[in-house]
Structure 1
């Protein structure tokens, strides 16, 4: 099968994951259920990727038939995975959007402790950028507006629920 016979697809991203300095998983989302169906296979893949990239100065790697773009910050490693024939620039735009969005949410303090303290926001950011492997947004400002709206709406909803419960308890 030649590369030219492949059909274009919106399903650009196969996986996104964030690892700490030791290669431990902090967040992972796999969008292709056939790629690595079990957690054991996913963690093996992540370990292989980490071992290949944690000391390298590059921004891109090819491993196990996948194109992987990555970035590190203090004690975190951010990875976006696509198929071997995927456009690296598209994957890099997703990675940059993820990193820049998280940087603003975490107030420029992109490190393990802050990330773990704000996991709800981290998951919201990932979900606003990618849905089922399809890239929805690559502009960090748009992502932040959507996440901010969802957080405010959730806060408002929880305040209303608390007020309702308080009235019922009286």
Structure 2
């Protein structure tokens, strides 16, 4: 993206926190084209504290923390949240969050911290398919489910099978 261009499709970070253990399970930040900065550790900690506090009384919500907006959703013992600049459309942030949670939950049938850690590679793959370098690229749940479909006979759901599926999907799209 060109410097100075305001994009409504930008995300600053995607996070997951185990509420019971108060432990970060997943943290990925991106350079925000709106603010021209990367979400720092101190700022992420402040947002995480605000989200964790709100998550103790609500299952989902939107928070404004300084120049950042965060949407969050609680699933069992995990709080998932997506952060963008305060100028980013909260509906888009919410769609990103819902897409990630719904696709992972559909693939795993549960959405607790143990499931997340068991299929960490799958979760990372889903996040990367939804947000690439801070730009929202795909929030279509059907498309994401197709990309994350593994070969039924394979017991391995690791990076190799995910990338093999992604490569075949790309070949189908570009080689017609």
TM-score class, shorter:
0.7 to 0.9
Query: How big is the alpha-carbon RMSD for the aligned residues of Structure 1 and Structure 2?
Result: 2.8
After superposing the two structures, state which structure 1 stretch, 61-70 or 122-131, moved more.
Answer: 61-70
Tell me, yes or no, if structure 1 residue 83 matches structure 2 residue 81.
Answer: no
Taking structure 2 as the reference length, the TM-score comes to 0.73
Kindly state the Cα deviation for residue 87 of structure 1 after the two structures are TM-superposed. 0.7
CA shift digits 1:144-163 (9 cap, x unpaired): 222336968824999xxxxx
For residue 13 of structure 2, the aligned residue among 11, 15, 39 is 15
CA distance in 1, matches of 2:58, 2:159: 42
| Matched residue SS, 1:13 | coil
Residue 70 of structure 1 is matched in structure 2 by: 72
Higher Cα radius of gyration: 1
Residue 26 of structure 1 is matched in structure 2 by: 25
Residue 154 of structure 1 is matched in structure 2 by: 160
CA distance in 1, matches of 2:124, 2:159: 16
CA distance in 1, matches of 2:163, 2:98: 32
| Matched residue SS, 2:31 | coil
Kindly state the Cα deviation for residue 17 of structure 1 after the two structures are TM-superposed. 0.3
Q: Where in structure 2 are there 5+ consecutive unaligned residues?
A: 152-156, 165-176
Q: For this pair of structures, how many residues does the alignment match?
A: 151
The answer on whether the counterparts of 1:17 and 1:78 sit within 8 Å (CA) in structure 2 is: yes
| Matched residue SS, 2:81 | strand
Q: Where in structure 1 are there 5+ consecutive unaligned residues?
A: 1-5, 159-170
CA distance in 2, matches of 1:65, 1:157: 36
| Matched residue SS, 1:148 | coil
